[in-house]
Amino acid sequence: MAVAIRLRREGARNHPFYRIAVADQRSPRDGKFIELLGHYDSKKEGDNFVLDLQRAEYWLSVGARPSQTVLSLIKKARKK
């Protein structure tokens, strides 16, 4: 099973809100997931995400592949 760490869209129309989720790569974007790691609000200025870095590092260590956006969020969280 190929596992991905990616964004899951939620929120209202014209105001998207994303959850950072670990899911099977074949499942739909907003479908079943294994674990939620945090959230990301792209419309908010400044500190616009919360991420459980310890769990993200675990999933990366066992072979999960992050999307480009999630990878940039992980890099920002490492700098904090």
pLDDT at 4: 97
Q: Tell me phi and psi for residue 68, to 5 degrees.
A: -60, -45
| Closest by CA position to 55, among listed 9, 24, 21, 27 | 21
Q: Over its length of 80 residues, how does the chain's per-residue pLDDT go in tens digits? A: 799 999 999 999 999 999 999 999 999 999 999 999 999 999 998 889 999 999 999 999 999 999 999 999 999 999 97
pLDDT at 35: 96
pLDDT at 46: 86
pTM (2 decimals)? 0.91
Q: Tell me phi and psi for residue 51, to 5 degrees.
A: -140, 135
- Parallel, antiparallel, or unpaired: how do β-strands 3-12 and 65-66 relate? parallel
The domains of the chain, with CATH numbers, are 3-79 (3.30.1320.10)
Q: What is the 3-state secondary structure (H, E, C) of 51-62?
A: ECHHHHHHHHHC
Which residues touch 34 (CB under 8 Å, ≥6 apart)? 3, 21, 22, 23, 24
